[in-house]
């Protein structure tokens, strides 16, 4: 029989990104649906490419109507004003870990006025001009 501690350790091993409960998150976008924040300690630059962890909290997820939290790893290309989602850790509204996903999505243009665009403006200051 697997004990509670073993299950907890196994679940923690699956989490690949920072906890959504950390105090270091800096809010970059808020509206009636929820908010987005970046982990400033996660920002990594290589030329025009910037990788950052983003915490998104939704009051009601479109699929379930329940609160949901995501910690997402985005890769931004500051030169082309584009981004791609690289991976995601998902949590329920109480902050309990649900699952992790590695993504292989293609880079997409960042649309103005979106949570992703406010993140890009924060980590690619020249892109905001």
- What pTM was estimated for this model as a whole? 0.80
Distance separating alpha carbons of residues 37 and 29, to the nearest angstrom:
7
What's the domain range around 12?
4-128
Per-residue confidence (pLDDT) for residue 20, from 0 to 100: 80
Domain count, the chain: 1
CB 48 within 8 A of CB 107: no
Residues 6+ apart with CB under 8 A from 49: 75, 76, 77, 78
Provide the CATH number for the domain around residue 78.
2.40.128.710
Pick from 75, 78, 79: which is nearest to 107 by CA?
75
Q: What residue has token string 């004990």?
A: 3
**46-105 per-position pLDDT tens digit:** 999 999 999 999 999 888 889 999 999 999 999 999 999 999 999 998 889 998 888 777
């Amino acid at each position: 029989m697997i004990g509670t501690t073993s299950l907890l350790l196994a679940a923690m091993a699956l989490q690949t990104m920072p906890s959504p409960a950390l105090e270091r998150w800096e809010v970059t976008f808020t509206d009636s649906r929820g908010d987005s924040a970046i982990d400033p300690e996660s920002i990594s630059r290589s030329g025009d490419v910037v990788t950052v962890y983003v915490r998104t909290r939704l009051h009601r997820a479109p699929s379930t109507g329940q609160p949901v939290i995501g910690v997402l790893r985005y890769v931004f290309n500051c030169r082309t004003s584009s981004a791609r989602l690289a991976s995601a850790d998902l949590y329920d509204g109480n902050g309990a870990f649900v699952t992790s996903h590695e993504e292989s999505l293609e880079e997409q243009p960042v649309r103005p006025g979106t949570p992703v665009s406010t993140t890009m403006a924060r980590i690619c200051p020249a892109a905001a001009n």
